[in-house]
Amino acid sequence: MSKDNKRKFLVILISPSGGGKTAIFTKILAENSEIKYSISFTTRKARNNEIDGVHYNFISEEKFLEMKESGDFLESALVHGYWYGTSKSYINNMLKKNHIIMDIDVQGAKQIMNSDIDHITIFILPPSREVWLDRLKGRGTDSDDVIQVRLESAEKEIQEIRDFQYLVINDDLDKAVNDIELIIRAEENKIKRYINIEDYYGG
């Protein structure tokens, strides 16, 4: 029996700023060719180093709102005057061949959880508040005021942590990646994800 006999699913990573989800999914993608990244749609223009279909799917606001009106977005948000969203048809098409991994905030994750897309949710946290704060400051990209806002926002998100399925503590990157890969392997082997298993062994 090959992996082709198993249904693919969406892997949703949720983490506050500084949780390390970007480093985690980048390593997972590098190590697992059968897992692809969910590329969001946006109405903003591509920056100089961005490629359409690689970093984002860049579309017009007219097209975005047309997709939104038709119910094609699993989740969407208006951020700083531009729309961002995850297309249901895009995800369903990708899931025909591959698992899909995505990183998203709590509210976006909950929108997707209310859909009929087969998914798992993994919350990622640093090992302690002190380590978390050190990581945020170590990036050198935010002022103390911005870091405080991020911490307050994250604390609110953590209050909802029990709404999700798995928790991975990102103390060591390799271990965190391995933990997530083990979760994915276990989920692959759930009976509900086998296709026509009775026929395969029925003779």
Task: Assess whether pLDDT exceeds 50 at residue 1.
Answer: no
> Is the pLDDT reported for residue 8 higher than 60?
yes
* pLDDT on residue 42: 94
- Residue pointed to by tokens 């946006």: 42
The total number of structural domains that make up the chain: 1
Calculated CA dihedral for residues 46, 67, 114, 111, nearest 10 degrees? 30
Structural domain harbouring 182: 3-38+98-202
Residue 74, in any domain of the structure: no
- In Å, how far are 67, 113, 202 from 199, measured between CA atoms? 39, 31, 5
Q: What is the CATH number of the domain that holds 22?
A: 3.40.50.300
Q: With bands split at pLDDT 50, 70 and 90, how would you rate the model's confidence at 138?
A: low
Is residue 196 in some structural domain? yes
Residue 156 reports pLDDT greater than 90 = no
What number is the average pLDDT over the span 155-164?
Answer: 90
The size of the chain, in residues, is: 203
State the pLDDT at residue 184.
97
Residue 144 CA, distance from chain mean position: 27
| Residue 18 amino acid letter | G
166 contacts: CB under 8 Å, gap ≥ 6: 120, 121, 122, 123, 183
- More confidently predicted of 80 and 90: 90
Give domain status of residue 92, yes or no: no
| Tens-place pLDDT, residues 164-188 | 999 999 999 999 999 999 999 999 9
In a domain, 73, yes or no: no
Task: Please enumerate in sequence order all residues whose Cβ is within 8 A of that of 10, keeping only pairs 6 or more positions apart, or say none.
Answer: 38, 91, 95, 99, 100, 101, 102, 112, 117, 118, 119, 120
pLDDT over 90 percentage in the chain: 62
Does the pLDDT at position 134 exceed 80?
A: no
Residue 86 domain-assigned (yes or no): no
